[in-house]
Amino acid sequence: MEQMRFLLDKIRQNAIDFMNALKDLKESFKGLEERLDKINPALNKILEVFKNVSVIGLWIKYTKKVIELFEKKTEAAKRYTEQIDILNDAETNYMNIRAENLRQIAELEARAQDRTLSAKARQQALKQAIAISEQELKKTKEFADNRFNLELKLTAAKYGLKQKEIKDFIAMDDEQAGHVILTNKKMADFRNKIGDEGYKNLEELYSKSIEADTRVFNEQKRNISRL
């Protein structure tokens, strides 16, 4: 504010100088060249002040953008912390359910193999075991997807990228990723800033998500042949 008042005072003073110079010029045309020499410095000073005001305006605009970006990153980090806590609690709470499901699967699988039971009873036990097993795999996939997506969302906000851009990059093999780094400055900067540890963490979370999805598919395929 102090700097802005100083600049406004300078503008007013230079404007006064300019008007005085015009007044002198109007009173007499004698020494016109000398009069113009007097006007020119006033004009130059006004232009210089406006130039400074323009620079300050750009600086303020840039500062606002930096603050907005910082606030966006801070908010993203806050939401990430809240959501990762919820996810951790959900996984912890599910451990007891998983233990019970695994116990039931083992019991039902045993019944499905028990030749003292009727074929219908064995078939029913097998169907129940398969249903619970697939439920478990889908829940594992859900947790893996949620953990990867939370990390992806935070990373995108942190580095100013779209989630799809990062996900596509993470999914690439080394040769494809290397080509992108050479031809895409934005992604090259991202890879450099995130570092090996951050990149490896994203890769591992992505791999767990894909592996969970593959297990669900393979289990469903295997179960079709068992029924």
Query: Could you report the per-residue pLDDT of 140-151, keeping only the tens digit for each?
Result: 999 999 999 999
Residue 130 has pLDDT above 90, yes or no: yes
Q: What confidence score (pLDDT) does residue 82 get?
A: 87
Q: Buried (b) or exposed (e) across 164-189, using 16+ Cβ within 10 A?
A: ebbbebbeeeeeebeebbeeeeebee
Identity of the amino acid at 146: N
Segment 180-208 mean pLDDT: 95
Q: What is the pTM of this model?
A: 0.65
Work out the mean pLDDT of the chain and round it to a whole number. 80
The string of pLDDT tens digits covering residues 98-125 is: 999 999 999 999 999 999 999 999 999 9
Could you tell me the pLDDT band of residue 59, with boundaries at 50, 70 and 90?
very low
- Asked if residue 168 has pLDDT above 70, the reply is yes
- Mean pLDDT over 208-215 rounds to 94
C-alpha span between 132 and 24 (Å, rounded): 98
3 state SS of 162:
coil
Whole-angstrom Cα distance, residue 181 to residue 191?
8
pLDDT confidence bin for 126, thresholds 50/70/90: very high
Q: Which domain holds residue 70?
A: 2-226
151: Cβ contacts below 8 Å, ≥ 6 apart = 80, 201, 202, 205
In whole angstroms, what is the distance from residue 35 CA to residue 58 CA? 35
Q: Total structural domains in the chain?
A: 1
